[in-house]
Amino acid sequence: MDARHFTFRRSPDRARHRVLAATIGFCAVFVLEAAGDSTVRASTITVTATDCQRLVRHQPSADVAYKPGVDVNGNAVAPADLPGSVTIKTPTEVTFDVTYDLLSNYGVASDTPLAPRGQAVVGTVKYDLLSGALTFNGERLDNGEAAALADLCRAAEAQ
């Protein structure tokens, strides 16, 4: 893969122009790579602070996290979970099957009485709520470039 150069700058808010320029830049890079153009050696893409804010997922600091039995000033308070209350464990991923209705190709409606179920499972989509990773049959649906840009944004922000 060709080397990429990223320029990070802070500028007045010209969001439309920046988004348009970034979109055109990304599209041009991917089109040239897909075409197998060997003359493309490096591409310079300017990513602004606003672009980085969109790419980098917010990570709240530990001191703002919920602490049961303590108010915002650190004073003890009565717990909110009363006896007999139900605790629901939130999922870390959302999963669903992608299906194809085989019977519809033969003119048979899937809701016809006594007809066999014509849904064939094509694959499974999983979305990890913690990392934001999206997979289809276990394969990531992104090529990692957005993650690489987010890493560069984090590094630039740390400087």
Q: What is the rounded distance in angstroms from the CA atom of residue 61 to the CA atom of residue 52?
A: 19
Does the pLDDT at position 111 exceed 70?
no
Q: How confident is the model at residue 1 (pLDDT cuts 50, 70, 90)?
A: very low
**C-alpha 4: how far from its chain's center?**
22
In this prediction, residue 4 carries a pLDDT of 45
What percent of the chain is predicted at pLDDT more than 70?
A: 66
Residue 13 confidence (pLDDT): 46
DSSP per-residue codes, 131-155: T--EEETTEESS-SHHHHHHHHHHH
Q: What is the mean pLDDT of residues 36-60?
A: 70
Pairing of strands 93-101, 42-48: unpaired
Higher local confidence (pLDDT), 20 or 64: 64
The pTM of this model reads 0.44
Summarize the confidence of residues 3-32 as an average pLDDT.
50
Over the stretch 56-99, which tens digit does the pLDDT of each residue have? 777 777 777 778 888 888 899 987 777 777 778 889 999 999 88
Distance CA(142)–CA(16), nearest Å, equals: 24
